[in-house]
């Protein structure tokens, strides 16, 4: 089983989840499901996820499978997700794929490399706002 550490900080109207550990599909799926559970428990559905995982990026197929599975369990919750990958070796194309998979399933997600930009985007989102457009390819 892949090792990771997840910490979640509660802010007014949003959560910040910080993840560190091994970069595997299992890790990603586990922390995504754990974050979803915390959102439901707290009744807060705006979340900033800051990820600093070690190791090479996972394949596009693995990204698709993991995001599809984790997002499907969150559909209908009204989540907005700002996702930051701090590892510069991880593929920007995979980040955009994850963003698009989530958005086509009804979860507004935006991917970033910078925590402050992600926080600004998340705080600009509000209940009832238009669904954000994905990054251009």
**Using one digit for the tens of pLDDT, what is the confidence trace for 70-104?**
887 778 788 999 999 999 999 999 999 999 999 99
Residue 136 resides in a domain = no
- 119: which 2 tokens? 């926080």
Give the pLDDT band of residue 1 (cuts 50, 70, 90).
low
Q: What is the CATH number of the domain that holds 105?
A: 3.30.750.24
Query: Is residue 35 a contact partner of residue 5, using CB atoms and an 8 Å limit?
Result: no
Mean pLDDT, residues 54-59: 90
Mean pLDDT, residues 65-74: 86
Starting at the edge strand found earlier in the chain, the sheet holding 46-54 runs 4-11, 14-22, 46-54, 80-85, 109-112
Residue 57 resides in a domain = yes
Please give the pLDDT value at position 78. Answer: 83
Please give the pLDDT value at position 126. Answer: 65
Residue 130 resides in a domain = no
Predicted TM-score (pTM) of this structure: 0.86
Residue 132 resides in a domain = no
Tell me the residue range of the domain where 110 lies.
Answer: 4-124
Most confident of 47-51, 65-69, 86-90: 47-51
Residue 131 resides in a domain = no
Residue 50 resides in a domain = yes
Residue 133 resides in a domain = no
The structural domain count of the chain equals: 1
């Amino acid at each position: 089983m892949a090792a990771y550490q997840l910490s979640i900080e509660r802010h007014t109207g949003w959560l910040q989840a910080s993840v560190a550990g091994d970069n595997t599909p299992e890790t990603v799926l586990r922390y995504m499901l754990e974050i979803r559970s915390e959102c439901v428990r707290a009744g807060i559905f705006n979340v900033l996820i800051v990820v600093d995982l070690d190791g090479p990026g996972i394949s596009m197929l693995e990204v698709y499978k993991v995001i599809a599975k984790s997002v499907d369990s969150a559909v209908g919750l009204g989540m907005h997700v700002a996702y930051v990958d701090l590892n510069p070796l991880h593929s920007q194309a995979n980040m955009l794929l994850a963003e698009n998979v989530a958005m086509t399933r009804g979860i507004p997600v935006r991917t970033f490399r910078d925590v402050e930009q992600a926080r600004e985007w998340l705080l600009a989102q509000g209940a009832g706002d238009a669904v954000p457009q994905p990054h251009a390819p």
